[in-house]
Structure 1
Amino acid sequence: METTLLGRLRHRLATDAVSRPKPKDIIRALADDNQAPPDHAGLRDLAESVAPDLTGAGRLQAFLDDPDVTDVVVNGPRRVWVDRGNGLEQTSTVFGSSDELRELAVRLAAAAGRRLDSACPYVDVRLEDGTRLHAILPPLASNGPYVSLRTHRQRAFRLDELVENDTIDPDAHQLLRRIVSARLAFLITGGTGTGKTTLMNSMLSLVPPRERIIVVEDSRELAPTHPHVLSLQSRLTNVEGRGRVDLAALVRQALRMRPDRIIVGECRGVEVTELLSALNTGHEGGAGTLHCNTAADVPARLEALALPGGVPRPGLHAQIASALRVIVHLGRHGSGRRVEQISLIQRRESELEVTDAYAFGRRRPAWTQLQRMLRERDA
């Protein structure tokens, strides 16, 4: 279909204040544009052919509707890749031109209330259905535009479902349940796309319903199956450069909201010090996610995030050792993702040490210590 026609239809629908056009709206716009075929069947077919490019994510919508797809990445108009849990695989879907792809990205951003143009050439925003959109335009994207979409599933997986799809084994399943029950603070770590959010949702769904969970995130992703979850989302500056609310500020606000557990969706900066402070003031059972290659990298990653905030290294180590207990590390294997390590973090003299309690289906050196911690909390 001609892009010019699509452009005119979008303009007409926008003029009529139709944000989510239905088939009848598209048919009316075609008729107003003098593009309506004389017969009913032809009009219906034409409306159906243009509808995907006027609603949702256009030709990418089918991937977002696929329950197996977690990510859709577009590396310019001729290369569309998807991740169905086995790593990225290229599809046969292509766009007619860079302008067509740009129009889609701009439309999706506008639907979420954000600007994407030459003055604001990138955007990171949550769409109405929960999908996370990141887009960046040329010339910053040399062969772009580049578009990344991360799907949002409305239902959190149960831990036993993660056992069925080989993300966790039965022994790890029982350990994770006991960690939540014991209110041990934990971090879920791993690389991009390893399933950190999925596992966090599953573990938080095990929290007793009488407890109040407050989740702090840059962009809302966590949606555990739990009756008492409050989500706080950071805010960027407006066009005047004002109004920014960062994660650190939201963690401070969460402390005043009578939380039983505070969760930071993804620790990316100095807000990690606020989380550590919260966990050190009687708020047990808190958690967060963190990008790491291995569980052993956690101390260095926390230092890299927290030290620029002015916290002395010895003081930071003391906070980490008293606040955090368990690291659950995810990685990729063969045809999917799985929990590779469950480790303890503790202070040894002046340094932090990470010791595996369970890894690759086997008990490791810190197993006895983890079992003792769980028994002490009747878990």
Structure 2
Amino acid sequence: MTPFLQLIFVLTIILFASKLAGYLTTRLGQPAVLGELLVGLLLGPSLIDLTHLVFITDRHLSEVVAEFGEIGVLVLMFLAGLELHFSELTRNTRVAAFSGILGVLTPVGLGILAGEMFGYSFDNAAFIGLTLGATSVSISAQTLMELKVLRSRVGLGLLGAAVFDDILVILLLSTFLALSGGGSALDILLVLLKMIGFLSLSAAFGLWVLPKLSRRISNMPISQGILTFSLIIMMVYGLAAELIGGMAAITGTFLAGLMFARTPEKSQIEPGLRSLAYSFFVPIFFVNIGLSVDTHTLNLNALWLMLVISTFAILGKVIGCGLGAKLGGFNWLESLQLGIGMISRGEVGLIVASIGLAEGYINETVFSAIVGMVLITTLLTPPLLRASFRKVTVSSPAPVQE
């Protein structure tokens, strides 16, 4: 088969398997995203190794599938922002700030403790802590959308906390790399200024320029012009978040969705984008998380470390984010729900760990343990989150904390 036919074959298997697995898990009372994650694990190098079958000769195929998946997570977070209103999120900043900050510092501290327990140097232990501090909120956002509680107090607090989490993890990572590499306080200040610059520019453009452009483009005789425009802005925000702010691209696309949520054109954008996302890109993203994990790399030397840091990773987010939410005014159940929603490390944890491996701060054994931790936290989050909302019914957006 030609490389193109190989791509079509792999995408066909991924899409069919993801929808079948999602259907089966919903029949079992679990979120569809859990089935998509599990089927990705089965199709990946842990069992079938779909992108490296004997008749697959294109060695770049797995990279192409992964890039489709990255588009999927960008669209997913854009849709999450599109479902909210900027005023709803800003009124919930106290919970978001407390949860985001404590939800990073607590697991980072526990990660350092785990590294020290296993006899690693402080630099190695610190990097283990940084991987535990990261959060991938895309898994939780999808689960909350399935449960129709994304606009509840917990959903709003979760998304706000994720923004604070992203900023703080990047600051801590940049500080660590600068200090260990002989950098100065000026380097750290530059990172902070870049973040402030990106957030200021994105807010200014979204509040004052975007509504006018959206209105003008929606009135033009262009087929699906406003939908295409929204995709362009989504990708520009994602690029700007990475290149200007030094932040994750998903933070940028989430902010882009928030800005479009303020415009009358939202009703034109959302149906088309939702169909495009959930029929193609988003299933590939969730399956690709499993495709990127090889459980054969989890050697026995890494097993105990994996179990310890996985336990600390879960407790760190539940306790840290939960306590932050409680301090912000949530009740105990809401605090627990928010803490559970922040457990997943997903692709963000793998990115931080890959930086540590490339820079020599962690070895292959530690990296294998972190991969196992990422897998465990990512798979546990959807069923735990669903269980925590089992007796909660939200028919309309709940009032947010002032």
Structure 1 and Structure 2 fold alike (TM over 0.5) = no
Task: Choose between structure 1 and 2: higher helix proportion.
Answer: 2
Task: Choose between structure 1 and 2: higher strand proportion.
Answer: 1
Name which one, 1 or 2, has greater alpha-carbon Rg: 1
Normalising by structure 2, report the TM-score: 0.27
Normalising by structure 1, report the TM-score: 0.28
